[in-house]
């Protein structure tokens, strides 16, 4: 039996499924869990599929996502009779709700480098652009007629954002093959998804314009960085976020990093991006990790950011 068959057989055995995603969720992990929920609901209407912790996310995080409905919080006694499926999360500490431990069994589905091998079953494909790409492949193998419009929407959003609209090097012929099949299902819907996903409010435009003025450059070391004060998020009523993308595609800047304070976690959250150099090792050194060209880290003090920058300069 191949791994897909083993995953399918295990899911079939459970009436209760708990879906988990990663902290600071992006559209790939959210797309994955919402697609999974929609797919399973269509294929097995009697199963109860809960996205654990979804009710803790703010509207801003979910804003651009097509037709999301929160489904209330799950009790511990429910979770401990369920099968857990964790999407897009390389290590256990990063799972959004640590009650994943209560699940009878866990399935991990991910495309990040394998830093933590967890789960009763683990499907990791580092060559996949996104977790959503893997799920499309799994669902297509499982029951392609159940990849209905809603499932396709969620998966498309995840692939689109994780590949930066098919521009990042993680886009492969396999990714495009999946995109072709999704286009067929989505029809004109994909244009609406694009518009909704990438539309900006005037408040956003003003916010990012101000963020841009805070970027510092070290042209000698081809490095850019940014520290976003919490007052700025408050001023524009924005959820704290990395804004690391505002430093991408700058000529002769090869590595860029941002930092902001995360009140909930009581720590400083950082993001590092690169256009060619592997920066994941630096992220790992500072309590983080991720991909070669896109990683995150977490430090207890703002002053430690200097050490991160020195390590990045050495690259
Ligand atoms: Mn992802």
Cβ neighbours of residue 95 under 8 Å, at least 6 residues apart?
20, 21, 22, 23, 86, 89
- Residue of 12, 6, 10, 16 lying closest to 80 (CA atoms): 16
Tell me the average pLDDT of the chain. 93
| pLDDT tens digits, one per residue of 175-228 | 999 999 999 999 999 999 999 888 899 999 999 999 999 999 999 999 999 999
Measured in degrees and rounded to the nearest 5, phi and psi for residue 298 equal -150, 125
Distance from the alpha carbon of residue 228 to the mean position of ligand 1, in angstroms: 24
In the reported structure, the alpha carbon of residue 90 is separated from the centroid of ligand 1 by a whole-number distance in angstroms of 10
CA of 235 to the centre of ligand 1 (A): 30
pTM of the model: 0.85
Proportion of the chain above pLDDT 70, given as a percent: 96
pLDDT tens by residue, 248-264: 999 999 999 999 999 98
* 128 CA distance to ligand 1 middle (Å): 9
CA–CA–CA angle 200, 202, 206 (5° rounding): 105
pLDDT in tens, 50-105: 999 988 887 766 655 644 555 667 899 999 999 999 999 999 999 999 999 999 99
Distance 205 CA to ligand 1 centre (A): 26
pLDDT of residue 207: 98
Whether 290 shows a pLDDT value over 90: the answer reads no
Q: How far is the CA of 130 from the centre of ligand 1 (A)?
A: 5
Q: Beta partners for 156?
A: none
For residue 19, give both structure tokens: 């879906």
Q: How far is CA 96 from CA 72, 188, 249, 280, in A?
A: 15, 33, 31, 21
Calculate how far, in angstroms, residue 220's C-alpha sits from the geometric centre of ligand 1: 32
């Amino acid at each position: 039996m191949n791994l897909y068959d083993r995953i399918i057989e295990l899911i079939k055995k459970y009436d209760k499924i708990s879906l988990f995603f990663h902290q600071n969720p992006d559209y790939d992990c959210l797309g994955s869990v919402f697609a999974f929920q929609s797919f399973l609901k269509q294929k097995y209407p009697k199963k109860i599929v809960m996205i654990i912790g979804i009710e803790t996310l703010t509207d801003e995080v979910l804003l651009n996502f097509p037709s999301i409905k929160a489904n209330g919080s799950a009790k511990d006694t429910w979770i401990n009779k369920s099968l857990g499926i964790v999407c897009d999360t390389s290590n256990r500490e990063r799972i959004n709700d640590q009650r994943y431990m209560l699940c009878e069994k866990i399935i991990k589905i991910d495309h990040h480098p394998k830093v933590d091998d967890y789960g009763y079953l683990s499907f990791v494909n580092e060559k996949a652009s996104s977790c959503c790409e893997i799920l499309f492949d799994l669902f297509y193998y499982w029951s392609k007629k159940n990849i209905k419009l809603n499932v396709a929407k969620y998966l498309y959003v995840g692939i689109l954002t994780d590949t930066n609209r098919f521009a990042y090097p993680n886009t492969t012929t396999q990714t495009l093959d999946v995109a072709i099949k999704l286009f067929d299902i989505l029809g004109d819907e994909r244009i609406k998804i694009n518009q909704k996903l990438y539309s900006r409010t005037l408040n956003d435009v003003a916010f990012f314009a101000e963020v841009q003025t805070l970027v510092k450059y070290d042209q000698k070391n081809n490095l850019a960085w940014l520290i976003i004060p919490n007052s700025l998020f408050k001023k524009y009523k924005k959820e704290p976020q990395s804004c690391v993308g505002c430093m991408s595609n700058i000529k002769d800047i090869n590595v860029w990093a941002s930092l902001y304070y995360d009140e909930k976690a009581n720590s400083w959250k950082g993001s590092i991006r690169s256009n060619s150099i592997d920066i994941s090792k630096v992220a790992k050194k500072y309590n983080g990790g991720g991909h070669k060209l896109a990683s995150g880290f977490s430090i207890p003090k703002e002053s430690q950011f200097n050490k991160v920058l020195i390590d990045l300069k050495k690259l």
